[in-house]
Amino acid sequence: MNKIEIHADLNTLAYAVAERIVTLAAGAIEAHGQFSIGLSGGSTPRSLYSLLATEEFRARIDWSCVHVFWGDERCVPPDHPDSNYRMAYSALLNHVPVVEANIHRIYGESDPSQAAAQYERVLREYFGAQGHFTARFDLLLQGMGADGHTASLFPDTAAIHERPWWVVENYVSKLDAWRITLTPEAINAAANVIFMVAGADKAETLREVLHGPYIPDKYPAQLVRPENGQVEWMVDAAAAALF
Ligand code: 6PG
């Protein structure tokens, strides 16, 4: 069941998501000593990451217990302007005492299929050591594009139907670019998924994703239905304007 929270604007939305992350981190660390979070890229989460890096929030998470992953990555080097790792590192990870070895970036600079296979191994090793046979992220932070994609599961692309892999390379023809992405199988193994969506340009798609017919090839964000987890849609009023 989708849980939907509407916040006035991106600033108040970022605060609300930051508070949820603090709560989920504390719960996971208390329950099993670690907090595994998968970050999303794009522009929406930048303000969230910067907020988490402030003194107000930084001290409220035990970063020594946090393992950082990504839901997807562009096939570019880590210092490229388009890199999701670079954005998160500059806005958040370079400002908090996370253990460098616990930052598990996707090697976007590598051959796409090799990068996907390598990341799959990292995930299976990490979650296997936790006693899981699934990608049991404590939290996956997801964004949604105006076309209904999430992670790099773009409409009418092969990755939507990939099983049983957790990570695949995905050629996105409209971008003429390769991406590395978690598959629906991996995303739906998470304990918690938070979609952070903001902006009027997302309003029509968000209405269709949440209230329209189930057409996952057109709206891949609809694929996110964790078997044993919850999805929280945390959105701003502009994105929710057509509900
Ligand atoms: C990426 C992201 C992607 C993002 C959406 C929304 O690599 O671009 O992981 O899935 O979440 O494209 O991006 P915005 O939040 O910038 O609209």
Strand pairing category for 35-39 and 72-74: unpaired
Pocket (CB within 6 angstroms of ligand 1): 40-44, 71-72, 84, 143-145, 149-152
Query: What distance in Å separates the CA atoms of residue 170 and residue 162, rounded to the nearest whole number?
Result: 10
Candidates 185, 140, 175, 141; CA nearest to 155 is 175
Angle between helices 84-91 and 44-52 (to 10 degrees): 30
Atom 7 in ligand 1: which residue has the minimum CA distance? 41
Q: Which of 44, 70, 85, 170 to mutate to test the pocket of ligand 1 (most atoms within 8 A of CB)?
A: 44
Residue 119 φ/ψ, nearest 5 degrees: -70, -35
- The reported pLDDT for the residue numbered 4 is 98
Alpha-carbon distances, residue 46 vs 3, 59, 72, 126, 173 (angstroms):
23, 19, 15, 26, 26
Q: Return the residue whose CA atom lies nearest to atom 3 of ligand 1.
A: 151
pLDDT(97) > 70: yes
Average pLDDT over residues 119-144: 97
pLDDT at residue 2, as a whole number: 80
User: Using CA atoms, how far apart are residues 214 and 160, in angstroms rounded to an integer?
Assistant: 14
| Average of per-residue pLDDT values in the chain | 97
Closest Cα partner for 42 from 94, 102, 88, 105? 88
pTM (2 decimals)?
A: 0.98
pLDDT in tens, 204-231: 999 999 999 999 999 999 999 998 999 9
Helix (H, G, I), strand (E, B) or coil at 99: coil
The residue type found at 191 is A
Mutate to test the pocket of ligand 1, among 72, 83, 169, 170 (most ligand atoms within 8 A of CB): 72
Specify the ligand 1 atom closest to the Cα of 197: 15
Q: Are residues 37 and 66 in contact, defined by beta-carbon separation less than 8 angstroms? A: yes
The per-residue pLDDT for 1 is 67
> Beta-carbon neighbour count of residue 128 at 10 Å?
11
Determine the straight-line distance between the first and last CA of the chain, rounded to whole angstroms. Answer: 17
pLDDT, tens only, 14-58: 999 999 999 999 999 999 999 999 999 999 999 999 999 999 999
pLDDT at position 172: 98
- 77 contacts 193 by C-beta, under 8 angstroms: no
Q: Say if residue 1 is exposed, middle or buried (CB neighbours under 10 Å; 0-12, 13-18, 19+).
A: exposed
